[in-house]
């Protein structure tokens, strides 16, 4: 494992691939994962921030095909206008008819309301001034959006490179498999991730791949 203070400073505004290569030069386990799984892929998002969060709510606790079908019907119900204003202007019955549960309808309405009243910040300039912790705290005030969903938003929508989702079972299992350790608890994983600042998102990506390659874990809709 890397020492807490690896030799050589990290590259400034690194891409995910550059960050992976930097880590691989300093950690033999990461080097092996890079060789076996390739360089990480964090595709540039095509959705707006609000649309991405809406998709996250829809996909919760659903298999991929069912989630995609319901999300498609929701987009139709909103006439393709994935905005807080449109969500709040659409009757709950219309949203339910798309296949959403009552709780998910309430979650989307709460998200839309909190975006409009400023509780949840999605403006790009304002987001740039907030820490990852502040973004997670704001999003976690929304019904149905917890810490994990907020962390996935940071990683895959905002493409933050130092997110460490210690509550994710796939990350925990993958870390144990890759580094040949018993599956760590969230608290243990928090400490194990410390040496990998400022690129823990990259390590998490490789943990998911390790869980798939060595443990037979299926890829999720978020991490595929």
Residue 217 confidence (pLDDT): 76
Residue 64 confidence (pLDDT): 82
Looking at 157, 172, 194, the residue that finishes a domain is 157
- The pLDDT tens digits for 54-72 are 999 999 988 788 999 999 9
5 within domain boundaries: no
pLDDT interval class at 223 (50, 70, 90): low
Taking the CA atoms of the chain, what radius of gyration do you get in angstroms?
19
Kindly state the average pLDDT of the residues 159-182: 97
8 within domain boundaries: no
Residue 10 confidence (pLDDT): 58
pLDDT at 222 over 80: no
224 within domain boundaries: no
Residues 137 and 170 in one domain: no
Peptide bond into 198 cis (omega under 30): yes
pLDDT at 9 over 60: no
1 within domain boundaries: no
Residues 84 and 172 in one domain: no
11 within domain boundaries: no
- The pLDDT tens digits for 26-51 are 999 999 999 999 999 888 999 999 99
Rounded Cα gap, residues 178 and 102, in angstroms = 40
pLDDT interval class at 1 (50, 70, 90): low
- Domain that includes residue 36, residue range: 16-42+163-215
Structure tokens at 63: 């298999």
pLDDT at 180 over 70: yes
Residue 25 sits in a domain whose CATH number is 1.10.1670.40
Residues 167 and 145 in one domain: no
Residue 5 confidence (pLDDT): 35
Residue 116 confidence (pLDDT): 98
Residues 113 and 83 in one domain: yes
Q: What is the 3-state secondary structure (H, E, C) of the chain?
A: CCCCCCCCCCCCCCCHHHHHHHHHCCCHHHHHHHHHHCCCCCCCCCCCHHHHHHHHHHHCCCCHHHHHHHHHHHHHHCCCCCCHHHHHHCCHHHHHHCCCCHHHHHHHHHHHHHHHCCCCCCCHHHHHCCCHHHHHHHHCCCCCCCHHHHHHHHHHHCCCCCCCCCCCHHHHHHHHHHHCCCCCCHHHHHHHHHHHCCCHHHHHHHHHHHHHHHHCCCCCCCCC
142 within domain boundaries: yes
Residues 175 and 86 in one domain: no
Kindly state the average pLDDT of the residues 128-134: 94
32 within domain boundaries: yes
Query: How many domains, in total, are found in the chain?
Result: 2
Residues 55 and 145 in one domain: yes
Residues 208 and 147 in one domain: no
Mean pLDDT of the chain: 92
pLDDT at 196 over 60: yes
Q: Which residues contact 93 (CB under 8 A, 6 or more apart)?
A: none
Rounded Cα gap, residues 212 and 207, in angstroms = 9
Residues 143 and 93 in one domain: yes
Looking at 157, 180, 195, the residue that finishes a domain is 157
């Amino acid at each position: 494992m890397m020492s807490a203070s690896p030799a050589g400073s990290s590259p400034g505004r690194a891409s995910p691939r550059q960050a992976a290569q930097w880590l691989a030069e300093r950690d033999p386990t990461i080097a092996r994962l890079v060789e076996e799984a390739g360089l990480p892929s964090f595709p540039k998002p095509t959705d707006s921030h609000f649309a991405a969060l809406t998709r996250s709510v829809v996909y919760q606790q659903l298999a991929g095909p069912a989630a995609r079908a319901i999300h498609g019907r929701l987009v139709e119900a909103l006439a393709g206008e994935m905005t807080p204003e449109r969500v709040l202007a659409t009757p709950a019955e219309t949203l339910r008819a798309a296949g959403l549960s009552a709780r998910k309808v309430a979650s989307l309405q709460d998200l839309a309301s909190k975006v409009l009243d400023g509780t949840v910040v999605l403006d790009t300039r304002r987001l740039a001034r907030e820490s990852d912790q502040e973004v997670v705290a704001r999003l976690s005030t929304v019904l149905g959006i917890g810490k994990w969903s907020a962390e996935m938003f940071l990683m895959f929508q905002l493409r933050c490179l130092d997110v460490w989702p210690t509550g994710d079972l796939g990350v925990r299992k993958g870390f144990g498999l890759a580094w040949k350790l018993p599956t760590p608890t969230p608290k243990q994983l928090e400490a194990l991730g410390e040496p990998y600042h400022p690129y823990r998102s990259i390590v998490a990506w490789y943990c998911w791949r390790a869980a798939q390659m060595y443990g037979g874990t299926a890829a999720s809709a978020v991490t595929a």
